[in-house]
A and B are shown apart, each in its own frame.
Chain A
Amino acid sequence: MLERLESLRQDALARVAEATDAEALRVLEKELLGKEGVISEILAAIPTLPQEERRDTGRGANALKGELLEAIGSKRALLDEALVEALRDGGGFDPTLPPATPARGGLHPITQVRREVEAIFTSMGYEVLDGPEVELDYYNFQALNVPVDHPSRELQDTFYCDDSHTVVMRTQTSPVQIRAMERLKPPFRVIAPGRVFRNEEQDATHEHTFHQVEGLVVGEDIQVGHLTWTLRRLLNELFERELEVRLRPGYFPFVEPGFEFDVRCPFCEDGCRVCSQTTWIEFCGCGMVQPCVLEAGFSGREDVDVSKLTGFAFGFGLDRLVMMRFGIDDIRNLMGGDLRFLEQFPC
Chain B
Amino acid sequence: MKWLARHVDLEGITPEDLAREITLRTAEVEGLERFAAHLDDVVVGHVQSREQHPDADKLSVCTVDVGGEEPLQIVCGAPNVDAGQNVAVAQVGTRLPGDFKIKKAKIRGVESRGMICSVRELELGEDHDGIWVLPEDLQRGASVSEAMDLVDWVIEIDNKSLTHRPDLWGHRGIAAEVAAIFGRELRELDTSLPETGEEPGLPVEISDLACGRYLALAIDDVRVEPSPEWLQRLLLAVGQRPLDLLVDISNFVMLDLGQPNHLFDRAQVSAGIKVRMGADGETITTLDEEERKVGIEDLLICSGDTPVALAGVMGGEGSKVAPETTSLLLEVASFDATTVRRTASRVGLRTDSSARFEKSLDPCMVPDAAAHLVRTLQSIQPDLKLPSAPVDVGAWEDPSKLVSLEGEFARSLLGVELSDEEMAESLRSLRFGVELDGGVLRVSVPSYRATKDVGEPVDLVEEIGRMHGYFQIPGKRLIAEVSPPARDPRQVLTARIQDRLSGGARFSEALCYSFQSDELLERLGIADEPRVRVVNPVAEGEASVRRSVVPSLLGRVEINRRNRDEVRLFEVGKGYLPELTDERGQPGEIHEAGLVLASPRSKDAAFNASARARLQGVIEDLLRSLGVSIEAGLRWRALGGEDLVPGWANPGRAQVLEVSVDDECVALCLLAELDPGCARSLGLVDELASDVAAAGLSLDALLSMPKAPASYRPLPKFPGAKVDVALSLPVEVACADAELELERSGKGLVASMELFDVYEGPNLPEGQRSLAWHLVLEAKDRTLDEGDLKKFLGRVERAAERLGGALRRESTVG
Residues of A within 8 A of B (CB): 102-108, 110-111, 115, 122, 124-130, 132-136, 138, 149, 151-152, 154-155, 159-163, 166-167, 169, 187, 189, 195, 197, 199-202, 208-209, 217, 219, 221-226, 228-230, 232, 246-251, 253, 256-260, 288, 290-291, 310, 334-335, 337-340, 342-343, 347
Supposing A130-B490, A343-B508 touch, asked if A232 and B27 sit within 8 A by C-beta, the answer is no
Closest 10 pairs (CB-CB, A-B): A225-B476, A105-B506, A257-B462, A229-B475, A337-B556, A223-B415, A337-B510, A247-B470, A225-B415, A103-B506
Give the residues in chain A near B238, CB-CB below 8 Å. Answer: none
Supposing A151-B337, A288-B458 touch, asked if A342 and B508 sit within 8 A by C-beta, the answer is yes
Give the residues in chain A near B73, CB-CB below 8 Å. Answer: none
Indicate if B752 sits at the interface (CB-CB under 8 A): no
Indicate if B413 sits at the interface (CB-CB under 8 A): yes
| Interface pair A209/B345, CB less than 8 Å apart | no
Expressed in whole angstroms, the Cα–Cα distance for A337 and B491 within the complex equals: 22
Q: Which of B162, B465, B498 interacts with A224 by CB under 8 Å? A: B465
Expressed in whole angstroms, the Cα–Cα distance for A322 and B28 within the complex equals: 25
Indicate if B333 sits at the interface (CB-CB under 8 A): no
| Interface pairs (16), CB distance under 8 Å | A110-B511, A127-B487, A133-B576, A167-B585, A209-B513, A223-B415, A223-B476, A225-B474, A229-B475, A247-B470, A251-B160, A257-B458, A291-B456, A334-B511, A337-B512, A337-B552
Q: Which of B474, B481, B508 interacts with A339 by CB under 8 Å? A: B508
Give the residues in chain A near B359, CB-CB below 8 Å. Answer: 151
Max count, chain B CB within 10 A of own CB: residue among A125, A151, A342: A151
- Chain B 516-539, CB-CB to A under 8 Å as 1, else 0, gives 000000000000000011111110
Q: Which of A129, A163, A251, A310 interacts with B413 by CB under 8 Å? A: A310
Give the residues in chain B near A138, CB-CB below 8 Å. Answer: 584
Give the residues in chain A near B484, CB-CB below 8 Å. Answer: 125
Give the residues in chain A near B131, CB-CB below 8 Å. Answer: none
Indicate if B13 sits at the interface (CB-CB under 8 A): no
| Interface pair A257/B532, CB less than 8 Å apart | no
Q: Which of B164, B568, B574, B586 interacts with A136 by CB under 8 Å? A: B586
Give the residues in chain A near B473, CB-CB below 8 Å. Answer: 224-225, 228, 247
| Interface pair B164/A251, CB less than 8 Å apart | yes
Expressed in whole angstroms, the Cα–Cα distance for A140 and B503 within the complex equals: 36
Indicate if B777 sits at the interface (CB-CB under 8 A): no
Minimal beta-carbon separation of B388 from chain A (angstroms)? 36
Expressed in whole angstroms, the Cα–Cα distance for A5 and B459 within the complex equals: 119
Q: Which of A125, A195, A229 interacts with B480 by CB under 8 Å? A: A125
Expressed in whole angstroms, the Cα–Cα distance for A138 and B477 within the complex equals: 34
Indicate if B461 sits at the interface (CB-CB under 8 A): yes
Supposing A130-B488, A335-B511 touch, asked if A125 and B483 sit within 8 A by C-beta, the answer is yes
| Interface pair B164/A169, CB less than 8 Å apart | no
Max count, chain B CB within 10 A of own CB: residue among A135, A167, A258: A167
| Interface pair A159/B412, CB less than 8 Å apart | no
| Interface pair B501/A105, CB less than 8 Å apart | yes
Give the residues in chain B near A334, CB-CB below 8 Å. Answer: 511
Minimal beta-carbon separation of A157 from chain B (angstroms)? 9
| Interface pair B563/A105, CB less than 8 Å apart | no
Minimal beta-carbon separation of A201 from chain B (angstroms)? 8
Indicate if B485 sits at the interface (CB-CB under 8 A): yes
| Interface pair A226/B478, CB less than 8 Å apart | yes
Give the residues in chain B near A105, CB-CB below 8 Å. Answer: 501-503, 505-508, 568
Give the residues in chain A near B161, CB-CB below 8 Å. Answer: 250-251
Indicate if B123 sits at the interface (CB-CB under 8 A): no
| Interface pair A166/B585, CB less than 8 Å apart | yes
Expressed in whole angstroms, the Cα–Cα distance for A217 and B478 within the complex equals: 10
Looking at chain A's contact residues, the main secondary structure is mixed
Indicate if B419 sits at the interface (CB-CB under 8 A): no
Which residues of B from 558 to 601 have beta carbons under 8 Å from A? 559-560, 563-564, 566-569, 574, 576, 584-587, 589
Expressed in whole angstroms, the Cα–Cα distance for A111 and B584 within the complex equals: 32
Supposing A105-B503, A108-B511, A128-B487 touch, asked if A248 and B569 sit within 8 A by C-beta, the answer is no
Minimal beta-carbon separation of A119 from chain B (angstroms)? 11
Minimal beta-carbon separation of B671 from chain A (angstroms)? 19
Give the residues in chain A near B506, CB-CB below 8 Å. Answer: 102-105
Give the residues in chain A near B584, CB-CB below 8 Å. Answer: 136, 138
Expressed in whole angstroms, the Cα–Cα distance for A249 and B586 within the complex equals: 35
Nearest B residue to A290 via CB reads B458
Expressed in whole angstroms, the Cα–Cα distance for A200 and B537 within the complex equals: 10
Which residues of B from 161 to 200 have beta carbons under 8 Å from A? 161-165
| Interface pair A159/B534, CB less than 8 Å apart | yes
Expressed in whole angstroms, the Cα–Cα distance for A138 and B474 within the complex equals: 35
| Interface pair B478/A128, CB less than 8 Å apart | no
Q: Which of B160, B459, B502, B537 interacts with A159 by CB under 8 Å? A: B537
Expressed in whole angstroms, the Cα–Cα distance for A104 and B563 within the complex equals: 14
Supposing A226-B476, A248-B470, A257-B462 touch, asked if A133 and B28 sit within 8 A by C-beta, the answer is no
| Interface pair A248/B25, CB less than 8 Å apart | yes
Indicate if B26 sits at the interface (CB-CB under 8 A): yes
Minimal beta-carbon separation of B797 from chain A (angstroms)? 42
| Interface pair A134/B470, CB less than 8 Å apart | no
Minimal beta-carbon separation of B523 from chain A (angstroms)? 16
Nearest B residue to A139 via CB reads B586
Q: Which of A124, A151, A249 interacts with B27 by CB under 8 Å? A: A249
- Chain B 43-76, CB-CB to A under 8 Å as 1, else 0, gives 0000000000000000000000000000000000
Indicate if B81 sits at the interface (CB-CB under 8 A): no
Indicate if B545 sits at the interface (CB-CB under 8 A): yes
Q: Which of B459, B474, B481, B545 interacts with A169 by CB under 8 Å? A: B545
| Interface pair A128/B498, CB less than 8 Å apart | no
Indicate if B338 sits at the interface (CB-CB under 8 A): yes
Max count, chain A CB within 10 A of own CB: residue among B456, B474, B478, B514: B478
Q: Which of B470, B510, B559 interacts with A108 by CB under 8 Å? A: B510
Minimal beta-carbon separation of B575 from chain A (angstroms)? 10
Give the residues in chain A near B481, CB-CB below 8 Å. Answer: 187
Q: Which of A122, A223, A246, A342 interacts with B24 by CB under 8 Å? A: A246
Q: Which of B358, B465, B478, B589 interacts with A230 by CB under 8 Å? A: B478
